Amino acid sequence: MDNRNILISGAGIAGLTLAYWLNKFGFNPTVVEISPKLREGGYAIDFWGAGFDVAERMNIVPDLRKADLGIPELVFVDKDNKRKGGFNNDKLRKMVNGRLVTLLRSDLSKVIHEHLDKDIEIIFGNSIHKIEQTQEEVAVTFDSGNTRSFDLVIGADGLHSNVRTLIFGDEAQFEKYYGYYTSSYTFENGVFNDRSVRMYNIPGKQVTVYSINENRAAVLFVFTSPEQLSYDHHDIEKQKEILIAKYENTGWKCNELLSKMDTSPDFFFDVVSQIQINRWSQSRVSLVGDACDCPSFLAGQGSTLAMVGAYILAGELKEANGNYTTAFEAYENIFKPFMESKQQSAQKFAASIVPQNKFSIWLRNAFTKLMRLPFVRKPFIKRFMDDTLELKNY
């Protein structure tokens, strides 16, 4: 096997999945993560589709089911908290033959991490400062000052990928802004004890609340902005100011939710964008997950598709016996067209999550009431929840 020693930047879902499969296929992966430990908190995701196939092959589905939040339904409410639409989660699960789990994004990472071989090296609290490629190796200088050599480097470090910037250039040339921002955080649960997800909309703004357990709940905000906002990605106080300005006195329970913000340990705020890049690799360096094909969380599959991309990349390296030129090209040929179609679907689906006017909100709510009808339900499943990608057995 050629090029066995592979550095993965990022201990998120894509990076940990890639480490799992590379190790299984006979490679020697090392993971570096800028955070001092696995990230906690985060918003809930629906785990389904082709990613479920990868999870089955990793034998982690039983643990994913244990982490399921047990959400019975999604309810759309008005400012008085009265039901205006929604659908039953159990019925949705039956539509996809039980292949649907709702869990925290961080819990998915935790489960994958728990299934990694204990010999896999994971370096927390460090990052890549410099990458120098030669015909024989990649010399990596870390922020700590240490320098090590690897055969290959894979950037699995998300939307704001450090590896992508070092190899391909400034993020601005690849990030496609689609007019949305999002924020999420968890808080001590003393009010929202209903296990259902409750979503409140006014034109251009959405707020979603759900219980994680008896003690904690989570909130997710999504709002539109015609222009990209100017703020420092590290300035959390400025981000909180933006969120308050957008949602203060907008009705329902928004003021109460905003009051929980300062006591939350996991406040998150970011732009909703897609990454569109012509090539995912350059010589001995390649990208996986949101670093190269981010469809935005509005696609509803970012995490699961990151696992699919990692599985295919590792599998193609195995089939090519470590020949990275052959493997990287095959990986892109298989997965890039599929992800481009997912990005297009996400752009269309976003309008149902954050309707732009009162009529669109009413229409969305009315449509969900019709989901109980087979002739409405089946086309919806086929369009938004039926992955056409057939995975190879590597």
DSSP 139-171: EEEETTS-EEEESEEEE---TT-HHHHHHH--G
Q: Which residues pair with 108 in a beta bridge?
A: none
- DSSP codes joined into one string, 48-112: ETHHHHHHHHTT-HHHHHHT-----EEEEE-TT--EEEEEEHHHHHHHTTT-EEEEEHHHHHHHH
What pLDDT does residue 214 have? 80
Tokens of 53: 């196939």
Percent of the chain surpassing pLDDT 70: 92
Query: Strand, coil or helix: what is 215?
Result: coil
- Give the full edge-to-edge strand order of the sheet including 175-188: 83-88, 73-77, 197-202, 205-211, 216-224, 175-188, 268-275
pLDDT at position 299 over 60: no
167-214 confidence digits (pLDDT tens): 999 988 998 888 889 999 999 877 676 778 999 999 999 999 998 888
| pLDDT tens column, 316-341 | 999 999 999 999 999 999 999 988 88
Task: Choose among 128, 96, 101, 106: nearest CA to 38.
Answer: 106
| 302 vs 13: CA distance, rounded Å | 10
Distances (CA, A) of 351 to 205, 283, 369: 11, 39, 18
Please state, in angstroms and rounded to a whole number, the distance separating the CA atoms of residues 200 and 85.
Answer: 11
The two tokens of residue 226 are: 């015609």
**158 in Cβ contact with 33 (< 8 Å):** no
DSSP 3-state percent helix, strand, coil across the chain (nearest 5): 40, 25, 35
Residues 6 or more apart whose CB falls under 8 angstroms from that of 75 comprise 83, 85, 86, 196, 197, 198, 199
Average pLDDT over residues 304-327: 96
List, for residues 34-71, the tens digit of each pLDDT value.
999 998 877 788 888 888 999 999 999 999 999 999 88
Q: Give residue-wise pLDDT tens across range 215-261.
A: 889 999 999 998 889 888 889 999 999 999 999 999 999 999 999 99
| 247 DSSP assignment | H
Q: Annotate 84-97 with b (16+ C-beta within 10 A) or e (fewer).
A: bbbbbbeebbebee
Structure tokens at 262: 């300062």
Round to whole Å and give the CA distance between 6 and 282. 15
pLDDT at 373 over 80: no
* pLDDT for the residue 14: 96
The H or E element containing residue 328 is: helix 324-353
Output DSSP code: residue 121: E
Per-residue confidence band for 379, with pLDDT thresholds at 50, 70 and 90: low
Q: What are phi and psi of 285, to 5 degrees?
A: -120, 135
Instruction: Kindly give, in sequence order, each residue whose CB lies less than 8 Å from that of residue 189, ignoring residues fewer than 6 positions away.
Output: 211, 212, 213, 214, 215, 216, 217
Q: What is the mean pLDDT of the chain?
A: 89
Q: How far apart are CA 318 and CA 4, in angstroms?
A: 10
Whole-number Å distance between alpha carbons of 252 and 245: 16
> Rounded to 10 degrees, what is the CA torsion of 346, 249, 236, 275?
10
Would you place residue 385 in the very low, low, confident or very high pLDDT band (cuts 50, 70, 90)? low
Most confident of 29-33, 270-274, 380-384: 29-33
394 vs 131: CA distance, rounded Å = 30
